Amino acid sequence: MTNQQKIKWRRLRACSACDLVSAIPVLRPGEHANCPRCGHVLARRHLHPVQRSIALAVTALLSLMIAVAFPFISMDTNGLDSQILLPQTAATLVNVNQPLVALIVSATAIILPGLYLIGVILMQANVLRRVPRAYSDVIARLFSQLHPWMMADVFIIAALVSLVKLTDIGEVHLGASFWAYCVFAVLLLMTTRSVDIDLLWLKLAGEPAPDPSIRCGINARDQHVIGCSTCGLVNAIPETQTASAFICIRCGSTLHKRKPNSLQFTWALLLTAAVLYIPANAYPMMITTSLGKSHSSTIIGGMIELWQHGSEPVAVIIFVASVMVPIIKMVILVILLWLARHPGPLNAEQKTRLYRITELIGRWSMVDVFVVAIMVALIQSGNLMSVLPGPAALAFSAVVITTMLAAMAFDPRLLWDTQGKPNDRAL
């Protein structure tokens, strides 16, 4: 193959974090290609990726079915026995007039992970059978959207926190469902890491030859090209075309040089989260009734009670997940919003690291909401002893969701647009 042919068929990618155009080398199983400027992973290879993903997804789905069918946790309190199935953590919330919280719990812990696994099996089976496109491209476009909302690992931590609280009330027994769900959470993580999106789109739709004029080491926007956030293909945009949105020639996704109104949407969601954070901490998160007497506890109040009862590690987990993480995430996003318009004291790589922190930590705030769901489902004995969700449960769930959406709305490429250009402003 001549040098001109190599240039013609090179596989180019525009980094979704910093917009730098790079050429992807031939990768062997176990290798991955990173952006040379910011370190973002551009492609990753696995040994037998299609078969690996199907095997993991099928096993994970079977584990989820077992977790749904058998008892999750049982408890004996002064002769009163109670046990719950995993779906009851959401169903009981509906019975106590918290349907929105029930929807959030069931979607993030059961429904979305289950749909994801089914999608992986169907899509990879099509690739294995060499069925061209079919509905696989639609499923593949949904993958990146589902990842942040699958919270099986967070639910496991919440279950462990609930166990500490429940042991103060009665004797607790873990059912087969609990262990099956732990296995499911691990297999779900392995499945998501096994899916090779880059290779998947190569199998589904091939790799169109890039424009020979596209150069590596230069930002995509400066060359009038856009990297697709779904399939990764670098699309050349004619300079004469004035439209603000374009269509990827391989997967059909809508492309933008930068996320439209990124800063405005991020500010709006961030301010909404800040407003919701007040009732989330001011109102009770959980209302406990024992022998006819009711006791309400806020997030901070519940943390203090755990500390006083000798459960310092659990109190620290609740404090970090429910108090510190939302505050840290909102503060970081405010800093990033300012840095997106001003170079500031940090370089672009340091700013990108800050942004990755917001992506990493946001979902873990759901621990407290899951704890409430488990406690409410398990403890329902009328005036003798019962637990109900407080008004803060919905407000705090909304805080978690809006901060996650704010991080998704922010375009990290704006941080690189202002780097070294003091008079520039992000568009």
pLDDT in tens, 155-188: 999 998 888 888 877 788 888 999 999 999 999 9
Q: What is the pLDDT of residues 283-295, one digit of tens each?
A: 988 888 776 677 7
What dihedral do alpha carbons 268, 271, 276, 281 form, nearest 10°?
150
- Please check the confidence at residue 40 and state whether its pLDDT lies above 80: yes
Phi-psi region of 424 (alpha: psi -120 to 50; beta: other; left: phi over 0): beta
Q: Which of 183, 242, 233 is nearest to 206 (CA)?
A: 233
User: Which one-letter amino acid corresponds to residue 374?
Assistant: I
Tell me the percentage of the chain whose pLDDT exceeds 70: 90
- Please check the confidence at residue 424 and state whether its pLDDT lies above 70: no
Which pLDDT does position 163 carry in this prediction?
86
Q: How far apart, in whole angstroms, are the C-alpha atoms of residue 159 and residue 181?
A: 11
Q: What is the mean pLDDT of residues 360-382?
A: 85
- Please check the confidence at residue 381 and state whether its pLDDT lies above 70: no
> Which residue's entry shows tokens 């392995």?
190
Tell me, letter by letter, the H, E, C secondary structure of the chain: CCHHHHHHHCEEEECCCCCEEEEECCCCCCCEEECCCCCCEEEECCCCHHHHHHHHHHHHHHHHHHHHHCEEEEEEECCEEEEEECCHHHHHHHHCCCHHHHHHHHHHHHHHHHHHHHHHHHHHHHHHCCCCCCCHHHHHHHHHHHHHHCCHHHHHHHHHHHHHHHHCCCEEEECHHHHHHHHHHHHHHHHHHHCCHHHHHHHHHCCCCCCCCCCCCCECHHHCEEECCCCCCEEECCCCCCCCEEECCCCCCEEECCCCCHHHHHHHHHHHHHHHHHHHHHCCCEEEEECCEEEEECHHHHHHHHHHCCCHHHHHHHHHHHHHHHHHHHHHHHHHHHHCCCCCCCCHHHHHHHHHHHHHHHHHHHHHHHHHHHHHHHCEECCCEEEEECCHHHHHHHHHHHHHHHHHHCCCHHHHHCCCCCCCCCC
Please return the burial class of 242, using the count of CB atoms within 10 Å of its CB with bins 0-12, 13-18 and 19+.
Answer: exposed
Which pLDDT does position 122 carry in this prediction?
85
Q: What is the pLDDT of residues 224-264, one digit of tens each?
A: 899 988 888 898 887 666 566 788 888 888 888 888 899 99
In contact, 370 and 105? CB cutoff 8 Å: yes
83 or 131: which leads in pLDDT: 83
Residues 6 or more apart whose Cβ sits within 8 Å of residue 50: 124, 127, 128, 203
In contact, 119 and 375? CB cutoff 8 Å: no
- Please check the confidence at residue 427 and state whether its pLDDT lies above 60: no
150 or 293: which leads in pLDDT: 150
- Please check the confidence at residue 5 and state whether its pLDDT lies above 80: no
Q: How far apart, in whole angstroms, are the C-alpha atoms of residue 7 and residue 177?
A: 54
Which pLDDT does position 421 carry in this prediction?
46
Which pLDDT does position 202 carry in this prediction?
83
Q: Which of 25-34, 151-160, 397-406 has the lowest mean pLDDT?
A: 25-34
Ordered structural domains, the chain, with CATH: 3-45+208-249 (no CATH), 260-427 (1.20.140)
Q: Which of 51-60, 127-136, 227-236, 253-262 has the lowest mean pLDDT?
A: 127-136
pTM value is 0.88
CA 168 to chain centre: 33
- Please check the confidence at residue 142 and state whether its pLDDT lies above 80: no
Residue 32: how many other CB atoms lie within 10 Å:
13
Which pLDDT does position 186 carry in this prediction?
96
How high does pLDDT run on average in the chain? 85
Q: What is the mean pLDDT of residues 184-200?
A: 90
Which pLDDT does position 4 carry in this prediction?
43
Which pLDDT does position 137 carry in this prediction?
65
Q: Which of 100-104, 169-173, 370-374 has the lowest mean pLDDT?
A: 169-173
Most confidently modeled range among 115-129, 176-190, 229-243, 348-362: 176-190
CA 400 to chain centre: 11
Q: How far apart, in whole angstroms, are the C-alpha atoms of residue 357 and residue 362?
A: 8
Which pLDDT does position 6 carry in this prediction?
44
- Please check the confidence at residue 338 and state whether its pLDDT lies above 60: yes
Which pLDDT does position 128 carry in this prediction?
81
347 or 400: which leads in pLDDT: 400
Q: Which of 188, 189, 198 is nearest to 49 (CA)?
A: 198
In contact, 66 and 179? CB cutoff 8 Å: no
Q: How far apart, in whole angstroms, are the C-alpha atoms of residue 306 and residue 320?
A: 14
Residue 327: how many other CB atoms lie within 10 Å:
11
- Please check the confidence at residue 383 and state whether its pLDDT lies above 70: no
Instruction: At 407, list the tokens.
Output: 């991080």
Per-residue pLDDT band for 423 (boundaries 50, 70, 90) equals: very low
